[in-house]
Amino acid sequence: MNRTGEPDSGRLARVFLCRVFEPGDEAGGRWVRERGCAEVVRGLREDREPPAGVSARRWEGLRARAAAAEPERDLTVAEAAGVRFLCPGDAEWPGTLDDLGDARPFGLWVRGRPSLRMWGLRSVAVVGARACTEYGAHMATTLAAGLAERGWVVVSGGAYGVDGAAHRGALGAGGATVAVLACGVDRPYPRGHTELINRIAAQGLVVGELPPGDHPTPSRFVLRNRVIAALTRGTVVVEAAHRSGSLVTARAALRLGRHTMGVPGPATSGLSAGVHELLRGEAELVTDAAEVVELVGDMGELAPARRGPVLPRDLLEPDARRVLAALPARSPARAEEIARGAGTTPDDAIARLYELRALGYVERHGDGWKLTRQAIVSVRGGPGPC
């Protein structure tokens, strides 16, 4: 804004370009980089020759859009809806979006009070199938809740399925979440998520490239995903078939050098086939929020070590465990037989057997030794001998 409180020409030019170009238009981004916003706007509004390499047909289509663009009106409508417009160079602009190069958004429309730049610094994308299974919804919800509890912002696309589950998981944990839409942020889509998206706007942020009132299209959903990938420090995919749009987000994250993660599912599930393909490549396997944070967080934010329950036999010395493992379960065995099975001497085996008897693991039957009833479960049900 200038000193009079009116939008400056650079901001108006970017609002104008949001109306003319589709999201991610690299040709448009290159023209802006080479000529500047004002010159590109003049070229579109005046009857000039198209830039080199642009067909007359495409130039005519862009000029038709330019003739209908009303940037002042877009800003007025946005302000009435509680929406602000961010430009590259603004204090709130996330610098990570600059990694998109010429595909960088011309600007972003934002609903919600927090700073998008600050939230983006500690954010993770959780994306996946729209028609997810109960398992997928559960994993997305618990992952998002765990991330929110650890102070991370959960970013997703506001869609049905995994996206909605991720947003709800973060909100339910009292955390922060951002919905990146493929339409105007003043018109929640899908309609069935109107209440959810309004709640996100009240507690978090709703973001989009398209100006107020614009509608989603299949290509806009795909192009929106690059913003999700660039805004965040990593992307987690929860359930995705081979042709899932969430894989576009994952591949964009890989190209941008972001952490790319996948939650495995059943090997027989088509909805996990795309995730499994990612995991066979450069993606990292994760199963909970702690493992995600270990990858995207600061040095030292390690996930806890994974191990099974500690059994009483695990506390035995290795020599005693070998003797214990050499005892048959049903019939008594002589010390010499047990020594051969344990790979030790008869004297050492006898010494260990008396130790094990004191601990309740074995009992003596005449000249033989046998496991006690209580020890059979511990020995046969636990992991193998060391």
Q: What is the pLDDT of residue 289?
A: 96
Q: What is the pLDDT of residue 74?
A: 97
Whether 245 and 352 share a structural domain: no
Tokens 């170009």 found at: 21
C-alpha distance from residue 18 to each of 116, 161, 164, 222, 378 (Å) = 19, 29, 27, 17, 68
Distance of CA 174 to the CA centre of its chain: 18
Tokens 């009833």 found at: 373
Question: For residue 378, what is the enclosing H or E element?
Answer: helix 373-381
Whether 55 and 16 share a structural domain: yes
Contacts of 346 (CB under 8 A, 6+ apart): 335, 336, 339
Residue 101 in domain = no
**SS3 label, residue 30:** helix
Whether 137 and 257 share a structural domain: yes
The residues with which 242 forms a beta bridge, in sequence order, are none
Q: What is the pLDDT of residue 21?
A: 96
Whether 130 and 239 share a structural domain: yes
**Residue 325 belongs to domain with CATH number:** 1.10.10.10
Whether 115 and 141 share a structural domain: yes
**Terminal alpha carbon distance of the chain:** 71
User: pTM for the whole thing?
Assistant: 0.81
Domain boundary among 250, 271, 296: 296
Residue 49 in domain = yes
Residue 30 in domain = yes
Whether 279 and 149 share a structural domain: yes
Whether 124 and 238 share a structural domain: yes
State how far the Cα of 325 lies from the Cα of 305, in Å rounded to an integer.
27
- 360 lies in which domain range? 312-381
Whether 74 and 116 share a structural domain: no
State how far the Cα of 61 lies from the Cα of 321, in Å rounded to an integer.
79
State how far the Cα of 214 lies from the Cα of 182, in Å rounded to an integer.
9
Domain boundary among 239, 271, 296: 296
Residue 377 in domain = yes
Beta strands in the chain (DSSP E): 83-86, 108-111, 123-128, 153-156, 177-181, 205-208, 234-238, 259-263, 284-285, 333-334, 362-365, 368-371
Whether 291 and 339 share a structural domain: no
State how far the Cα of 342 lies from the Cα of 267, in Å rounded to an integer.
40
Give the tokens for residue 121: 């610094």
For residues 126 and 150, the answer to whether their CB atoms sit within 8 Å is no
Residue 301 in domain = no
Q: What is the pLDDT of residue 141?
A: 98
Computed on alpha carbons and rounded to an integer, the radius of gyration of the chain in Å comes to 31
Tokens 């941008």 found at: 256
Q: What is the pLDDT along the chain (386 residues), one digit of tens a residue?
A: 444 344 577 899 999 999 999 999 999 999 999 999 999 999 999 877 788 778 889 999 999 999 999 999 999 999 999 999 999 999 999 999 999 999 999 999 999 999 999 999 999 999 999 999 999 999 999 999 999 999 999 999 999 999 999 999 999 999 999 999 999 999 999 999 999 999 999 999 999 999 999 999 999 999 999 999 999 999 999 999 998 999 999 999 999 999 999 999 999 999 999 999 999 999 999 999 999 999 998 755 666 666 666 566 767 888 888 998 888 877 888 989 989 989 999 899 889 898 888 888 888 888 898 888 767 665 555 444 33
Q: What is the pLDDT of residue 383?
A: 44
Residue 97 in domain = no
Q: What is the pLDDT of residue 377?
A: 61
Whether 332 and 289 share a structural domain: no
Residue 122 in domain = yes
Residue 328 in domain = yes
What string of DSSP letters covers 113-162? SS-HHHHHTTEEEEEE-TT--HHHHHHHHHHHHHHHHTTPEEEE---TTH
Question: For residue 195, what is the enclosing H or E element?
Answer: helix 194-203
Whether 249 and 146 share a structural domain: yes
**SS3 label, residue 368:** strand
Looking at the 3D structure of the chain, how many domains does it have? 3
Whether 167 and 62 share a structural domain: no
**Residue 125 belongs to domain with CATH number:** 3.40.50.450
**What one-character DSSP code corresponds to residue 331?**
S
Domain boundary among 296, 331, 353: 296
State how far the Cα of 32 lies from the Cα of 106, in Å rounded to an integer.
9
